[in-house]
Homo-oligomer: A and B are copies of this chain.
Amino acid sequence: MTTTPKRLLVGRPLASDRLDETLLPKRIALAVFCSDPLSSVAYATQEILLVLAIGGTALLHLAWWAAGGVIALLVVVVASYRQTCYAYPNGGGAYAVSRENLGAGASLVAASALLVDYVLTVAVSVVAGMDNVVSAFPAFASHEVALSVAAVAALVAANLRGVKESGRAFAVPTYGFVASILLVIVVGAVRGLLGNPVVAASAGLPLHAQQNFTGVALLLLLLRAFSSGCTALTGVEAISNGVPSFRPPKPRNAARTLAAMGALAVTMFGGITALALTSGVHIAEDPTALGLPPDAPQQTVIAQLGAATFGGSSVMFYLTQAFTAAVLVLAANTAFSGFPVLASILSRDGYLPRQFTRRGDRLVFSNGIVVLGLLAIALVVAFDADTTRLIQLYIIGVFVSFTLSQLGMVRHWTRDLAGTSNRALRRRIVRSRAVNAIGAGSTALVLVVVLVTKFVHGAWIVIIAMPLLLWMMTAIRRHYRRVAQALRPAPGGFPLPARVHLVVPVARLHTAALRALAYARATRPTTLTAVTAEVDPAETAALIREWEERDLPVPLVVLEAPYRDITRALLAYVDQRRREAGPHDVIGVFVPEYIVAHWWEHLLHNQSALRLKTRLLFRPGVFVTSVPAHLRGDGLLDSTPSSHSTGAAAGAATGTAPGTAPGTAPGTPETPDERSLAQLTRG
């Protein structure tokens, strides 16, 4: 019924055995997993410049140092994660690695850091992408929030269709972006060598210092610029998480893709930063520092370089902006690969609700995808689609998981070493361990720098969010454990209820009520009672009259409803029956319901039935049965087995011995005495 829109959006369902088909070749994997670290070139340089701009033109040259630090760190981290690809061919996410090597506590810290980061990856990338759209088309400047939300929604839809189709769609913009950025760098370098250097449009603007920095303050500003530049590292871990998605030999293909990504990232980030500095790009959070009005729009660094290199209305400028925006939106896709998988692993381990383990029709973890999308949209709206403010939250989590992951790898190699006597192998392991140790040391150091320099600028939000997430995950696990404990069956037998007392609430004597009575009677209960709550005495009198006319072989109990609350009266009656019943008896309530043809018709029916059913579920020793009467669009009842001719009463039940055949179980043979009662209406 309601599946058609879903099909259009998501595509046909895929069977489980097609899971292997979604494995990725290297060039597609690069597009899928590396759009995040590559695309961060589009904003990492800009974030460095925005921090240094506070100190005015005189301090912009410090960007060389900040960028140099970022590049060195990028090389170290890429080298470190290549080790992880080999050591964990089934996916070396920070959670798995730290769980195996550092224990459950550390792994949960890593997991909460990763979950936060996935959400921020989506928010930051999409918003930065829209910044570049607005740089090309300033008319959209006031609609950035709406544009960003629409982009996230589109990503959710694409990912619900499955990763492979996404991969293909992502290759063009990723490689288009790489090509156009490299072209900007090459043209810039060539023109520089030819003595006709590229000059940014904003080079002519003044850049007033808003504050003076000397000594420690200057150092802190440089470190803060470096911290901001570290956004270039976000997403490097995606490949090591995604090793199982590669084609075999998975580890080698993953490690090679990682190396290629590192080389591209270093080239592009270094080139863009150098070009931005030599072409004199001036950009500031507060436009008045540039002598502009307070709400003047500023182009992104990429847009300024593209316009200066190709011309502000050239096809190549618009193409560069289009690729940049596209790759940034697609960078968010890294998170859509990672978040649902991590959520499903955490869910399998009992730390998140079980729904996250469920693969959807298209073999993806649909719930994780939807939740990630909603959280990212919430962040975009809350931070008013401001890249710089969002980036303050971003880097903490990345470096927490980097550090834990590398630390775990050091432990991993140490343990490997203990079990290895082969000298060549031992040498390789020692080298790997050294790489990971350097990685862990540097990322830990950067984490401290980030914490110190970013705390007041927004990182505190993450510092609060991560422990909350941690607490929630442990609470969920405690709950599931408690439930499993409570549900463990006793070793002895499980007793059958001694008697079954059935109750059928009846408002009017229509087919739905008769059907509920017939079904209830067919289950041969110990007692069967129809009950009605008196709201209007005239209606009740009419019901009793009709009941007697039909000579129904079921007693009808009339309840007072002093508060006109039918539900309450029925609940009180059920409670009374439970008190009167034996301790080993069970009460069942058969509720007549209408199933109507259109959703809006549901608003006109079943409200009392729904209320009653919900409240009854909270009574121990009571089971609740819905007996649906199906109304077709033309207003007629759908024909069902029991609405056939009265000949039905003659059908004899076949009793089979226990367990004789699958699909059948012991029944009670009908006695002749019973068969005479099989017709609900006497006569």
* Chain A interface (Cβ < 8 Å from any Cβ of B): 1, 13-17, 353-355, 358-359, 361, 476, 479-480, 482-490, 492-500, 502, 509-512, 514-515, 517-519, 521-529, 553-557, 561-565, 577, 581-586, 588, 590, 593-596, 601, 603-605, 607, 613, 617-631, 634-656, 658-659, 661-668, 671, 674, 677-683
Contact = CB atoms under 8 A, between A and B. Distances in A.
A66 to B, nearest CB: 44
A668 B521 CA distance: 10
Given A487-B511, A562-B16, A496 B518 contact: yes
A603 B353 contact: yes
Contacts of A485: 635
A565 to B, nearest CB: 7
A125 B652 CA distance: 70
Given A631-B483, A681-B492, A651 B498 contact: yes
Given A641-B582, A642-B497, A668 B668 contact: yes
B524 A510 contact: no
Contacts of A523: 500, 523-525, 588
A555 B624 contact: no
Contacts of A355: 607
> Main SS of the interface on chain A?
loop
B359 A662 contact: no
A636 B490 CA distance: 13
Contacts of A601: 479
A617 B640 contact: no
Contacts of A668: 524, 668, 671, 674
A680 B525 contact: no
B623 A519 contact: yes
A617 B593 contact: yes
Contacts of A514: 489, 494
Contacts of A674: 668
Contacts of A667: 499, 524-528
B487 A510 contact: yes
B1 A618 contact: yes
A489 B518 contact: no
30 contacts: A14-B563, A16-B561, A16-B564, A479-B604, A488-B510, A492-B681, A493-B683, A494-B680, A494-B681, A496-B642, A497-B518, A497-B522, A497-B642, A498-B650, A498-B653, A500-B519, A519-B588, A525-B665, A527-B665, A528-B665, A529-B662, A555-B664, A555-B665, A581-B641, A583-B644, A584-B642, A618-B628, A621-B642, A623-B627, A666-B677
B496 A521 contact: yes
B625 A588 contact: yes
A584 B13 contact: no
Q: Which of A483, A500, A511 has the most CB of B within 10 A?
A: A483
Contacts of A553: 658-659, 665-666
Given A483-B631, A498-B651, 13 more contacts: A483-B594, A486-B635, A489-B509, A494-B517, A495-B679, A498-B648, A499-B654, A524-B667, A527-B665, A555-B663, A584-B651, A595-B617, A617-B628
B358 A495 contact: no
Given A620-B628, A626-B623, A652 B486 contact: no
A524 B509 CA distance: 27
Given A524-B667, A663-B557, A667-B527, A620 B638 contact: yes
A567 B620 CA distance: 26
B644 A495 contact: yes
Contact of A495 (B480, B654, B680, B683): B680
A118 to B, nearest CB: 20
A645 B585 CA distance: 13
Given A527-B665, A555-B665, A487 B512 contact: yes
Contacts of A519: 497, 500, 586, 588, 623
A564 B359 contact: yes
Contact of A562 (B17, B555, B561, B624): B17
A422 B652 CA distance: 75
B651 A630 contact: no
A512 B527 CA distance: 25
A16 B526 CA distance: 35
B483 A635 contact: yes
B679 A641 contact: no
Given A13-B563, A498-B652, A514-B494, A583 B522 contact: no
Contact of A518 (B495, B605, B618, B651): B495
Top 4 A-B residue pairs of the complex, sorted by shortest distance between their CB atoms: A498-B651, A482-B635, A528-B665, A584-B648
Contacts of A498: 641, 648-653, 678
A445 B263 CA distance: 84
A584 B644 contact: yes
A562 B497 CA distance: 36
A510 B489 contact: yes
Contacts of A649: 493, 495-496, 498
A635 to B, nearest CB: 3
A654 to B, nearest CB: 7
Contacts of A604: 353-354, 476, 479-480
A487 B354 contact: no
Contacts of A563: 13-16, 361
A648 B497 contact: yes
A679 B529 contact: no
